[in-house]
Structure formats: structure tokens, C-alpha cells
Amino acid sequence: MWTISDVKAKGKSAFKANYGNSVVAALIASLFAGGSAAVSRYSNNQASGESGSSISIPADQAIALLVTLLTVFLASYAVLLVLKIFVFNPLKVGCYRFFRLNAENPGTSLSAIKEGFGDYGHTFCTLFLTDLFLALWSLLFIIPGLIKGYSYRMVPFILKDNPELSATEVITRSRMMMNGHKWNAFVLDLSFIGWFLLTIITCGIVGILWTNPYYSNTNAALYLELKKGTDTVA
């Protein structure tokens, strides 16, 4: 049975042994995740139409403005969807791949990130289903979505470790792997609160140089520990 201290020690060791590459990989992951959120916020702002103004607008002009805003809104989400499929998701999987390999063999090259672009179809289907299931569970309020988020936590790792598995089989494997470990994984995340607070206080500097790469290597170390258990059972 894995322990939080052991997993964090392995993650920190892998991080320190490949500091530069870990920082770059974590930065790439966070930048593109932030870019996706920024596009989404832009779309929402356009859809709101800056409704704080009380200026009267003729009906025909109001309809034309509404159509324009709706067009911009839909176009923004279309761009976001294309970027998510062809850039964000493969980069996410590639970064997870780098950290997984680095946790096992510190010193892994950043070229491992390119593996995320190896199979668009498989990556798209798997992450699309994962996001869809999470969205549906989140409709039952926050807690069920949070729990399922931990259940699906290992999907990006399994995706490249077991390319022969279908999208649903990858998700099922992640659920089985996290069964009985979700609470400890939650406590593991809580143990990083101090670093997350320092990241906020330093306007992200500590996050870039320490918190994010340290956390990502630790998450990969957790995957390797859980993988040992599933391999033993198999």
C-alpha cells in the first residue's frame, strides 16, 4: 500500500533529477490549459453583450447585434473545440507521458511530449468521453463530479501505456485503479496546499519553478504505484 510521504518523495526525487525539463513540461501544460480557459471566458463575455448599458437600441439593430454576438460566441467555441482536439488534448496526454516516464527513469527528454500526438482518434475519443462523463456527473452537483474526477485521474497515463485498450476500457481501467485510493489521493492533493498558496502569493512564480512540476511528477509517481497493484492482480 502506497503512502503519501513515499509518493511525494519519489515525485520530488524525479523532479530534482530532471529539473529543467520538468519545469518546461509543466509550463507547457499550464499555458495551454490557461489558453483554453481564456477562450471560454472570452466567449462568455461576448455572449453577455456587456449588458450594463441602458442605451436604447432600435429593434432591428438589437436583432443584428444579437446575431453578431451569437455568431462570435459560436465561432469562439468552434475554435476552442478544434484547438482542444488537435492541440490541448494531445499536449495534455504528451505532458502526462513525459512525467510518467520521468518518474520511472529521471532524465527523460522533453521529446516524450510528442507521443501525445501519436493517435488523434484514440486520444480524442478517450478524453471526449472522459469529459462528457465528468460533465454529466457534475450535473448532480459538485461532489459526484469531484469523486469521478479522481476516478478518471489516471486516464491520460493509461492511454499511452495501453494503446490497445478502447476509450471505454481506458476509463474503466482508471476507475478500477483508483478504487479504494480516491480519498488518499485527495489527501495527497491537500498536502500541496502550502505550495499552491505560495504560488498565488508570488503571482505564479513558485508554481512555475516548483509547485507545478513537483506536483506533476508526484502524480506520475502515484500512477506507477497504483499500476504495480493492478499488474500484481493481473
| Structure confidence by residue, pLDDT tens digits, 166-184 | 999 999 999 999 999 999 9
Distance CA 187, CA 3 (A): 11
Residue 231's pLDDT band (boundaries 50, 70, 90)? Answer: low
For residue range 104-115, what is the model confidence (pLDDT) as tens digits? 999 999 999 999
Q: Where are the domains of the chain?
A: 4-233
Return phi, psi of residue 139, to 5°. Answer: -65, -20
User: Taking the CB of residue 56, how many other CB atoms lie within 10 A of it?
Assistant: 6
* Set of cell numbers at residue 79: 475554435
Q: What is the pLDDT of residue 50?
A: 47
pLDDT for the residue numbered 43: 43
Range among 53-67, 78-92, 117-131, 152-166 rated most confident: 152-166
Write down the pTM of the prediction: 0.82
pLDDT above 60 (res 103):
yes
Burial (Cβ within 10 Å: 0-12, 13-18, ≥19) of residue 171 = buried
Kindly report, residue by residue over 34-79, the tens digit of the pLDDT. Answer: 544 444 444 444 444 444 444 566 777 778 778 788 888 788 878 8
